[in-house]
Structure 1
């Protein structure tokens, strides 16, 4: 682990524009809330970002660190960055450690991943608070969840159980844990287990869909498999539109599913549109600026075909209300304000991906009458970014680069979950209530 990574550097973006001076908390938030841990981004490698997260985490109060870990997991739907924050919180110690671990851990395998991350520089004893948090988290999971994530890794679930000395709620849970230790838990009824055992693909997916045992993310990731296996189209369509478990799925996952299985795009588009309907319409005219510069066109992770541009365009396509949409790179191009998949395609195909003239783009839209401005970008502008003219102006940052421009008169938001729009709406409601008080 390296903590001596901060050198005296000018406050500029990677592309040379003046950046805002940030507090430690602001630096930490922009590093965390769009971070897929260890994954390289356009301007920085994953190790550099992880090192910065740890270094900054040391400097903020435990209350802020704990709240950010919860926000990253519950609102931004990230999995590994919150665990890194937990490691920093554990190092600080104190009574907030255990309840934060209990709340942040939402899947059984996150217990083993937390211990593995905690031991990344060598095994060491677990603190009392860490043990207590893991013990409380362990109680949350039933036999199916434990069996599903009981994997052969350096740290196994049975190891975590021994380390934290969890106490079962009752005799039934005690028996489940005994089976976990003895490796006699019944195999979970998942598509992975069924297919690895030689089951027929079409029959397996048909049964799991009919019994509602296929999670929504698993459904989206397996649409191509189902198509190739000949699963009944109506059954798949109904599952897509039912959106059971969709609250844990990031919006860009619909785009990935549509690209993998184009025949299902109409229903995926309809399901994505439900995200719009779930949100109150924003009052007044909203202008949306979407960054389509080269740095946005880099994959979210080594295993993903999606980019930050996909994530940004998806977010732009689900903003409710009266909107005008523009893309920016070297030029500022207005695109049709379409919803869902059509809107995403319109943004991505709108112009060549060249520079990052965010300042030019803001100057352009400042001259257009509007009530609200939303910019979705990685903030690495080449030119000076002027202040917005709208009283309601939001800079949504979708990357983890150290420096940013969207502070000061901007309301700055980090992350590419649709919950950033929830925050935006709540911010305006709060301001309205204050002004009327």
Structure 2
């Protein structure tokens, strides 16, 4: 007979002794990197979503609300906060906070429809049958308040085909318009007569000449920084002159764009690297400095090569390279190492040259995180580790200030002792460290 009355230590997916977390820590960890229902290297998306749903009732309602808001506003995640609120609606103690939370975390019109799709996901039958399933009063109140946030342009932009349409939400929750103009817009939404917004997506899908459309949008400054970066390859294929694209990159606002965005863009427009690098350095100008001595340890194992999401061309390693580029510029004294099966010191290059050095530093193999930390960690230096926290070996406590930046939603992590844990990749990681140490 098998013995089941025995201690079962937490293990990472790679087999190392891991760290088990309490319900709040585990929920925060699972949420902050979660792209719902998308499989990751070691765990499938359904398991992650089920784990999040199971943890919500085990955590205090106010804490669950704080996690949902942080996921939406700080980590810029869209679906997982909606799942959290849907699970809150299932439990009496959490349900009373649903309306306020939902009204806050919904920041785009399509999140109204996504919430209802998630809400009805467990119901059996066709979507028409699911729509008859009762929606809680708190959820209706939150949706109604959120609906008033959006103007005609936003509603038209996100009034897309789908099992749940914006008009379905309108008819279900009966929001109260703020004024006569909003009431008129909602009537047009219900009747399907809202004017199409002038966006690059609409212009191109309408069959307009792509080169002329891109040139017009650039001239009229209707392409934001992220839209410009995402469409570089399309512009080149359409025949937009390189000088026109280069001028747009030179003129675009970069105050909200961090290095990893430029790194992802350069993969598809390598001949624009000089212009992209110039814009990237502009985005870093004036950034607060991180004083003291810093060691940045970057995971380049195989699992770090996975895309951040199905819709993204950016990998976890792209994000890590972006953080390294930023650290190279804002840290007074920084050494950069990569680790996989080995530990390799990266030469002190800048910009895209630093990215190239990181990517070429060693094969993307297994993960010996404990050995890597032991080799590079020294007293008197802060250590920042950028990883998915999987390892074959144990990771000891840092000798000084140690930050474990985790970019995956896996259940068990590594790192015992006094590590400062940052769950989730954010554009503000170094800003948080600077502010935290200042306090």
For normalisation by structure 2, the TM-score amounts to: 0.90
Aligned partners of 2:47 and 2:14: how far apart in 1?
Answer: 18
Partner in structure 2 of residue 340 of structure 1: 351
CA shift, 1:302, in A, is 3.6
Once the 2 structures are TM-superposed, how far is the Cα of residue 407 of structure 1 from its aligned partner?
A: 5.0
Pairwise CA distance, 1:256: 2.3
Q: Establish whether residue 203 from structure 1 lines up as the match of residue 212 from structure 2.
A: yes
Identify the match of residue 182 of structure 1 among 191, 209, 212: 191
Given the alignment of the two structures, is residue 39 of structure 1 paired with residue 38 of structure 2, yes or no? Answer: yes
Which residue of 1 is the match for residue 394 of structure 2? 384
Q: CA deviation at 1:294?
A: 1.6
Q: Which residue of 2 aligns with 1:116?
A: 117
2:17 maps to what in 1? 18
The answer (yes or no) to whether the contact 1:374–1:396 under 8 Å persists in 2 is: yes
CA distance in 1, matches of 2:213, 2:221: 12
Asked if residue 224 in structure 1 is aligned to residue 233 in structure 2, the reply is yes
2-structure distance, mates of 1:273, 1:77: 23
Separation (CA, whole Å) in 1 of partners of 2:74 and 2:433: 13
Question: Matches of 1:305 and 1:184 in 2, distance apart?
Answer: 35
Structure 2: distance between partners of 1:264 and 1:360 = 39
Whether the 8 Å CA contact 2:110–2:159 is kept in 1: the answer is yes
TM-score (ref. length: structure 1): 0.91
Tell me, in whole angstroms, the C-alpha distance in 1 between the residues paired with 2:63 and 2:248: 39
- Report what 1:263 is aligned to: 271
Are the aligned partners of 1:40 and 1:301 in contact in 2 as well (CA < 8 Å)?
A: no
| Range that drifts further, 368-377 or 279-288 | 368-377
CA RMSD of aligned residues (A): 2.1
Moved more, 191-200 or 285-294: 191-200
| Partner Cα distance (2:322, 2:42) in 1 | 22
- Contact preservation (8 Å) 1:414, 1:420: no
Match of 1:133 in 2: 142
Correspondence list, 1:20-169, <5 A: 20-92=19-91, 93-122=94-123, 123=130, 124-169=133-178
CA shift in 2, pair 1:388/1:292, >3 Å: same
Per-residue CA distance 1:279-302 (angstroms, 9 max, x = gap): 311011100001111222223334
Name the SS of the counterpart of 2:264 in structure 1.
helix
How many equivalent pairs are there?
Answer: 421
1:365 to 376, 382, 391: 376
Three-state SS of the structure 1 residue aligned to 2:338 is: strand
Structure 1 residues 108 and 152, CA, compared in 2 at 3 Å: closer, same or farther? same
CA contact (8 A) 1:206 1:232 kept: no
Q: Does 1:428 align with 2:427?
A: no
Gaps of 5+ in 2: 1-6, 124-129
Q: Answer yes or no: is the 8 Å Cα contact 2:396–2:415 preserved in 1.
A: no
**Separation in structure 2 between the aligned mates of residue 86 and residue 240 of structure 1, nearest angstrom:** 39
